[in-house]
Chains A and B, each alone.
Chain A
């Protein structure tokens, strides 16, 4: 699995867009970018994943650069309930164990 780098923490005002970056400069051609989040004392929650095209679902948007060396998770209108640790994972399949790095602790403030 390719190594990922995320900022340790970020703040965002409630109602504003939260943009969470992830660097994955060693990503291989068959590796996907996955985003999960973990709210305190709960299990990790899958958010979105993509290979090379931008993706959007009801929770978020995923923007992957053309060279695929970095990506950004966008929460379009952050709420207090989006306060969590966000993890970016790069891997070719989800069949084996997941390795969560340190992630980004997002604090959404009123």
Chain B
């Protein structure tokens, strides 16, 4: 089975802090994604990556950056956390084969105080 592991289920940080969210997948997937999910707004794509050291902006990249130094790991960075970044963050991965599904981690519920 595909396993996508996010480093924390719950995280509390303070405004202005630099925050790192880590995601690791064990299926040798080329594609990795970071979404946030908020009530009434559904899933919104922040960044994605099709390969090591590659990154593409999604719909809401402002205030975030990403790092993909190894194929299995995709990190999301909040450069200077703000209260409007309080959210559920979801990592997903998928194979490069076009019809293969995305598989998600359990999510990190991040609160910025």
**A36: chain B residues within 8 A (beta carbon):** 101
B111 CB to closest chain A CB (Å) equals: 14
**Partner-contacting stretch, out of A9-17, A61-69, A93-101:** A93-101
**B74 within 8 A of partner (CB):** no
Contacts of A45 in B (CB 8 A): 104
The proximity string for A residues 82-110 relative to B, scoring 1 for CB distances below 8 Å and 0 otherwise, is: 00000000001111111111000000000
Q: How large is the interface on A (under 10, 10 to 19, 20 to 34, 35 or more residues)?
A: 20 to 34
Give the number of residues in B that approach A within 8 Å (Cβ atoms). Answer: 26
- Are B99 and A94 touching (Cβ within 8 A)? yes
Chain B residues whose C-beta falls within 8 Å of the C-beta of A100 in the assembled complex: 42-43
Inter-chain contact B31/A46, CB cutoff 8 Å: no
Known: A94-B94, A97-B45, A99-B42. A42 touches B99 (CB 8 A): no
Mask of B28-46 contacts with A, CB within 8 angstroms, 1/0: 0001010100000011010
Other-chain residue from A43, A49, A98 in contact with B99 (beta carbon distance below 8 A): A49
The distance from the CB of B98 to the nearest CB of chain A, in whole angstroms, is 4
Residues of A within 8 A of B102 (CB): 46, 94, 98
Q: What are 8 residue pairs bridging A and B, where the CB atoms are less than 8 Å apart in the complex?
A: A41-B107, A43-B107, A44-B43, A44-B90, A94-B98, A94-B102, A98-B92, A100-B43
Report the 9 A-B pairs with minimum CB-CB distance, sorted nearest first: A93-B98, A43-B104, A97-B45, A46-B101, A43-B107, A94-B94, A44-B104, A43-B106, A94-B102
